[in-house]
Structure 1
Amino acid sequence: MEVGVGVEVRTESVTKSFGSQRIWQDVSLTLPSGEVSALLGPSGTGKSVFLKSLIGLLRPERGSIFIDGTDITTCSNKELYEIRKLFGVLFQDGALFGSMNLFDNVAFPLR
């Protein structure tokens, strides 16, 4: 994968729920490579859930998420690790990666 300034991010009909609580449904969008984009909305509308989905920390129930042409919903852990290297993320309130134990959270930037 060759990377210039930024990568294209594309979602197709992505739906995410937690139990019976639907967060968002059938979201399709394209964020072009090299563009600056903003995700705005009131508290509790699923912005953080969406961003966590874009880097593969959460998996949608339905749909596809393409990072530079690769569908991360079908990636192995190793492939997903390589895709995540394309992103810099700072979580609100200094949160840790929920999918990792404390050691892996601390070691993440060192790897």
Structure 2
Amino acid sequence: MADERTTEPDRPIIRIEHLSKRFGSLVVLDDVSFDIPTGKTTVLLGPSGTGKSVLLKNLVGLIQPDAGHIWVEGVDMCTASNRQKARMRKLFGMLFQDGALFDNLTAGENVAFPLRFHSRLNESEQRKKAEDALAMVQLPGVWDRPTSALSGGQRKRVGLARAIVLEPKV
């Protein structure tokens, strides 16, 4: 399959068409369609239990929809190979509801973690980039702090710093 990714300004970075997902008899997503324009901020907002997380899991290819299609930069995530999905996931910065921090790592090590696997930066460059991300979320000076010593809000911000440290497109 050819790689159809593009950065055309008129093409949305994400297009979702007629997406449906159910779990048993529970319909979670029913014929959902929308575009996310390139370069625009888009918010997915709704009450608990309305399918936001299910939509996002479909979007990044963690679960398959029952019907419909999702294109990310022109790549159909519903028919993409596992290798293509993994490559496309690198475009996303994900902030998990519970923070999803590693308890055995410090705050700074949590932020630097994706850099270890998805960058060619050396250790000191990784630390600098992670410290910059922590500063962006107003948490300078917490590099060595254990995650157990962070407040709930601080944990969220460490998670946000980790989500943005790779400078994702989405």
What TM-score do you get using the length of structure 2 for normalisation?
A: 0.53
* Residue equivalent to 2:83: 78
- Output the CA distance in 2 between the equivalents of 1:29 and 1:49: 15
What is the number of equivalent residue pairs in this alignment?
A: 99
Structure 1 position 41 matched with structure 2 position 46: yes
* Residue equivalent to 1:94: 99
> What code does the residue aligned with 2:46 have?
G
* Residue equivalent to 1:18: 23
- Output the CA distance in 2 between the equivalents of 1:3 and 1:84: 16
Output one character per residue of 1:30-85: Cα deviation in whole Å (capped at 9) or x when no partner: 01100000011111101111111111111100000000111000011101011001
Computed over aligned residues only, the root mean square deviation of the Cα atoms, in angstroms, reads 2.1
Larger radius of gyration: 2
- Output the CA distance in 1 between the equivalents of 2:91 and 2:25: 33
Matches for 1:26-37 after TM superposition, within 5 Å: 26-37=31-42
The structure carrying a bigger helix percent of its residues is 2
> What code does the residue aligned with 1:57 have?
L
Of 43, 52, 70, 1:65 maps to: 70
Q: Which has the higher contact order (CA 8 A, sep 6+)?
A: 1
The 3-state SS of whatever aligns with 2:21 is: strand
Unaligned segments of structure 1, at least 5 residues = 97-107
CA contact (8 A) 2:13 2:74 kept: yes
Distance verdict in 2 for CA 1:50–1:10, change over 3 Å: same
- Output the CA distance in 2 between the equivalents of 1:22 and 1:15: 8
What TM-score do you get using the length of structure 1 for normalisation?
A: 0.80
> What code does the residue aligned with 2:71 have?
F
Structure 1 position 50 matched with structure 2 position 55: yes
